[in-house]
Amino acid sequence: MSFEANKIENDSEKFSFMLDLGSAEGDAEADRFGISARYNFPGDFIDNPEWSGRLYLELSASYWDGEDGSTGHSSLFDFGVTPVFRLTRFSQIVNSFVEVGLGAHLHTEDGIDDENFDIPFAFGSHIGLGLNFGSRKKMEVMYRFQHLSNASLGDDNPGINFHLLQWGVNF
């Protein structure tokens, strides 16, 4: 059986819209609620009947809700742009995938709770595991672990980690 019909290749499926929610790991007490839009670049780096490796660009916006703590900031907004590589395994019922991304983020504050980021800029890296399902595999659910850090561009560099669940649709 050919799995070609399971790929996101035609022009009508080059975009995705995602909703995410999650919480911080470690010292920071912060919940996160966000949205993202993706452009799935045409062409595959790996292209065979069972696997696909491709790139997409993600634009994201999220609200972090925490406590005042030592920074005096109980919330902030985060805006990011992230290129992502995704490796997908095709099957008849669901497609499974793993992805990695590294991008840039801007925050409206330079800290939240007891986490002082020193500057309102961070690099974000993530790894995600998920499934595409439904009619033509247009629906998506994913777990994502994300780390954000200023890479020592500021005096302090505590970083923050998030565990996220994402749900979305490819169109």
Query: What is the domain count for the chain?
Result: 1
Give 20's pLDDT tier (boundaries 50, 70, 90): very high
Better pLDDT: 5 or 89 = 89
- Write out the residue range of the structural domain in which residue 128 sits: 12-170
138 domain-assigned: yes
Burial state string for 124-155 with b = 16 or more CB within 10 A and e = fewer than 16: bebebebbbeeeebbebebebebebbbeeebe
Give the tens place of pLDDT for each residue, 61-107: 999 999 877 778 899 999 999 999 999 999 999 999 999 999 999 99
3 domain-assigned: no
Asked if residue 144 lies in contact with residue 105, where contact means CB atoms within 8 angstroms, the answer is no
Query: How large a percentage of the chain has pLDDT more than 70?
Result: 93
38 domain-assigned: yes
Give 11's pLDDT tier (boundaries 50, 70, 90): very low
Report how far Cα 118 is from the mean position of its chain's Cα atoms: 23
- Looking at residue 10, what is its pLDDT? 42
Closest CA to 61 of 86, 101, 93, 33: 33
- Looking at residue 134, what is its pLDDT? 93
Asked if residue 91 lies in contact with residue 111, where contact means CB atoms within 8 angstroms, the answer is no
69 domain-assigned: yes
139 domain-assigned: yes
Give 2's pLDDT tier (boundaries 50, 70, 90): very low
pLDDT at residue 22 above 50?
yes
129 domain-assigned: yes
Give 13's pLDDT tier (boundaries 50, 70, 90): confident
Query: How large a percentage of the chain has pLDDT more than 90?
Result: 71
2 domain-assigned: no
Mean model confidence pLDDT for the chain: 90
Task: Give the CATH number of the domain where residue 72 resides.
Answer: 2.40.160.20
CA distance 110 to 23: 18
Better pLDDT: 144 or 136 = 144
pLDDT at residue 9 above 60?
no
- Looking at residue 105, what is its pLDDT? 98
CA distance 147 to 124: 6
146 domain-assigned: yes
Q: What's the average model confidence in pLDDT over 19-48?
A: 92
